[in-house]
Structure 1
């Protein structure tokens, strides 16, 4: 095993890509005997939040299945990290787990170059390419008992870096074909993400088509990233650049000029109003909780309306948001839903899911319905029938089963059936 120190690069013993990495970690002051400054583990809640909001979670099964022949053995480990090099998931045999724990390869740990020196995870994230790092190519000596092969994962919608998939094994058991397999499985996972994206565009097209049919002029429906789902009265464009944080109403887009944005589930309707049309926003939002078994949110705008069913948790969230029109922090919503302000990370993860479909309708910082958007909250005639499955404190208070807490000003105890 090669235990050479930093002088190995100067002696020409390292591949160029590895040598460049050693230069970088030397500049930031990584100690080959102790590694970089400790970055600490993510808290359990932050780790769960990152897992929930990462698109890698959508293809985790594909990664595990594709690499099962390697990661399912006693002496290998599958490691999946986010774009910062934080370990989100790891799977491996007991022997490899023990070796991984000796070098602090835990879920939530950081394996960026700035923390762990030259390693397959961190260096692959920097180089943006598949990479193998063997034994003595690791800058930090404690890692030289391992060999690792990693490949970055990109979001096919915009090419952004999602993270990296890595297979680690003892250095003595290095398999030359591992890098090719890891790279191939990463490409399959990116292909699955691409397919999921276009399936979402197809769903958006089915919602947008009847709206476009009623519009006399030019209009185009795009997803949240600007990819075109449907168009009428104008040449189709593959993708339209949207503002970083678009809002409903009149705006100016570089490729289209003056136009109006109206929210769609998972995207936007872009149309070109008449000169005398009054400025408008998202129209009206209706949260319908009258049924005991199914719940929905509807958005009504100048061009038409659409409705989306709600899961039980999202029904609770929109109920809590409608009760506090001035906005809520994640901690306040955690108290409304769980009676525990410490569950804020869980709330943020759920809101992230919800905003994928209702991003134009919901604001954040604080969380609330979009400014100047009228909201109707429809409840059952008998308050006792409101969301009968729910044990959320805000819902129980609205049923009259428990009094609202004193610090919930403007909350359940003071809300009416409609608030704007």
Structure 2
């Protein structure tokens, strides 16, 4: 893919709109996109032309890997009007919509902008603002109940910010769907007090949406909505998470505070949480096999479960097999879900270390290996160079020969970072051969 240019061309900065670049940007974007579609999953991790921002290129690659057809006219509607209304009326989104209507809709309409609110799965819950822009976005299926998650429609501000966990701007030409290239977007994830992504808020309109000022505005609005959700969540029974990454003793995090568990209670609750995700319970014999060595008497298991009930009241049902009162989120499982969505940067942020690193229980060891393997393989295969460097600099990536080899392959020949990667790869390979 050769192009002549009047000299070195700088890469696009973080913001979508930039000072004039000495390059025909529109043609370059189309050329890069055509090349990516031709290469498919074999396309390199870094954009081939400087007119394409790295975050957009990464999103395009995820869109192609997910099999999203650029010719798709409109996304699937996964929730009917009644379901959307029930979600808005019965959950924490009611004050969020009120905040948007009071603080943003009127000004957005005056600037020909549409305001969109989506849940964490990328399903649109509400839209308002400019009637004209609303008609334009509705024609391509951006309506309440439709899924604008990146794996469903490809690169777009709302779906991509949910995939990456960071504020995102997408110009018209940068959308994966041809039909969506009638508007630009800026979106930010909405996080609650625990840092969990609960949804996204976006502004859609002309290319003036992709300016630093609009990005700052949408980030501010998302933060305000997150505070609304946090205040509402204080009266909800849910929102409990089991945190097992990078800590020897799991933490049960809920609206009323944290409970630090003993090592054995950490194993027990992890086993029950994994079973609960499949709507199953665990017998005393199964817990013995998961959390000990299988030879442990069931009386020991029952005694530990009894202590766990007293330590964390309301978490377990009073029945056999042992079962959770309600599904319990596990940070390690959330990380695996992020990797499946291609949200590598967000996954690396969530990954604070191995799963219960000092635990020798089968359930912890199995999940520990799974998380480590999936994280390494996903980053090596798909992550941007800067993200791969961050991983390789951590303890869990320092001895990953595949990561250092990928860096050697992707970094420019003669660069200092490539030389460092080459030396580290040699050290790792020597260690492996010596063992």
Q: TM-score of the superposition, structure 2-length normalised? A: 0.46
| Structure with the largest fraction of helix | 2
Give the TM-score taking structure 1 as reference length: 0.48
Higher-Rg member (1/2): 1
